Structure 1
Amino acid sequence: MFVGYLEEITRHPVKSFSGEKVQETTVMSYGLYGDRSHAFLDEKRRGKFLTITQAPEMVRYKARFNGIESLAAYPKVEVMTPDGKLLNWDDEALIREMEQLAKRKVSRTQYTPTAVPLGAIEEEHIQFVTDASIQKLKELWGNDVDYRRFRPNLLFSLNEKIPFIEETWFGKRLKIGEEVELYVKRHCERCMIITVDPEDAKRDPALLKTVVQERKNHFGVYASVVKTGTIRAGDKVYLIE
């Protein structure tokens, strides 16, 4: 059953930095190519990632791959800082900025293009949201909602604008374009990260309160990869019963 179109694709080369919108990418067994493949480790909490939870200003750093996707090695990871500096992932200046933001010692880690562990996204392979649900949340909250607050990989434009229709898809598969299939698994339970504005890092706890009160703290849906391949913005999306 045709349910809509893939409106936008966002991958996050660096965990907790703003992601990059791409017109097409490869869906790997772990999710989008290179998604959360580079991350900072919080040396104050050994074995834990440094995230927006500890340092909200991380959301103002914009990461992107500069080059062609390859299974042998990632393209160069470039980071645009809030003050307009362009740094590479391995620049020591980037580590120093993260330590100043977090007020703690941090280190870097990264994974190979073929083996990003589930722990990098921490929950499932892919998270998606729909335009109808974003619109409904605007009404519930009474304010505009930048969907980037929820840090999804995919934004679907629904054929029928029914809010939260995606929550009826649990246990079913979605086909995107000609190749890729996802298994729709469960709700995404939200945390304080959605209170952080992706533009200026200012916090507004009212959004999380609204999601808790109106949506039982659920917004967005997790899915796992069934069939890998290439997806492109504008691809048709089908629900497979």
Structure 2
Amino acid sequence: MLVGHIKEIVRHPIKSFGGEFVQKTKIMEYGLYGDRSHAYLDETRKGDFLTITRFPEMVRYQARFTGEELLEEYPKVEVMTPEGKVFDWEDEELMNELERKSKRKISTIQYTPSHVPIGPIAVEHILLATDASLNHVKEIWGKDEVDFRRFRPNLFISLNEKIPYIEEEWIGRRLRIGTEVEMELVGHCKRCMIITVDPDNAERDPSLHKTIIKERNSNFGVYASVIKTGDIHVDDEVHLL
């Protein structure tokens, strides 16, 4: 059954940094090609990942791949700072800036195109959200706009029938995206303080999290496990199997 199409594809080459919007990419066994494949480690916390939770301004740094998506190695990862400067992700000046702002000693870690463990990705391979659900959140929150980037989905789906949270009813079933990719929806995404951080200015508004807790039992979006890998594109049809 055709339920909608892919409106946006977003991957995050660096964990907790702003993501990049892509028109097409590969779905690997671990999720989107290169998603959370690079990360900064917080050496003040025994090598835990440095994340928005402890350093909200990370959302204002934009990371992207520059080059072809090879299976042997990742393209170069480029970072644009909030001030518009562009660095290689391991550039010493960038690292010094991040350490100064976060007040933490950091180091880097990266994985391979064939394997990114669940740790940096989160709970599951892919996070999906829908336009109907986002519009309902806007209504119950009572603000003019709700930027879907707050929720950091990989796939943002435009539904044919605008039924809020219909994706939650798909848990336990499979979706086919385009002609190749299949994934199984496996559970709710429980939300934390990260959604309170404005992706443009890093300012926090706790009222959004409180609204999601009260009205949605902390849930927004659903996780999916990859069943069949392949290529996906913006505007690909989404079929419920």
- Shorter-chain TM band: over 0.9
Matched residue of 2:6: which SS?
A: strand
Query: Aligned letter for 1:215?
Result: R
Shift of 1:44: 1.1
1:28 maps to 28
Query: Aligned letter for 1:218?
Result: N
Shift of 1:94: 1.6
1:215 maps to 216
Q: Deviations over 1:125-181 (max 9, x none)?
A: 000100000000000000110000001100000010000000000100000000000
Mapped to 2, the partners of 1:82 and 1:90 lie a distance apart of 17
1:131 maps to 131
2:159 maps to 158
Shift of 1:47: 3.3
Mapped to 1, the partners of 2:132 and 2:205 lie a distance apart of 22
1:178 maps to 179
- Count residues in correspondence: 240
- Output aligned runs, 1:44-63, within 5 Å: 44-63=44-63
Query: Aligned letter for 2:27?
Result: V
Matched residue of 2:79: which SS?
A: strand
1:69 maps to 69
Mapped to 1, the partners of 2:149 and 2:101 lie a distance apart of 21
Q: Deviations over 1:77-103 (max 9, x none)?
A: 000000110001121112111111210
Shift of 1:66: 0.5
Mapped to 1, the partners of 2:54 and 2:140 lie a distance apart of 28
Mapped to 2, the partners of 1:115 and 1:129 lie a distance apart of 24
Shift of 1:120: 1.0
1:14 maps to 14
1:168 maps to 169
Shift of 1:104: 1.1
Unaligned runs of at least 5 residues, structure 1: none
Sequence identity of aligned pairs in percent? Answer: 63
Mapped to 1, the partners of 2:68 and 2:199 lie a distance apart of 27
2:85 maps to 85
Q: Deviations over 1:189-231 (max 9, x none)?
A: 0000000000000000000000000000000110010000000
Unaligned runs of at least 5 residues, structure 2: none
Mapped to 1, the partners of 2:135 and 2:34 lie a distance apart of 29
Matched residue of 1:206: which SS?
A: helix
Q: Deviation above 2 Å: which 4+ runs of structure 1?
A: none
Shift of 1:122: 2.0
Mapped to 2, the partners of 1:37 and 1:109 lie a distance apart of 8
Root-mean-square deviation (CA, aligned residues, Å) is 0.6
TM-score of the two chains, using structure 2 as the length reference: 0.99
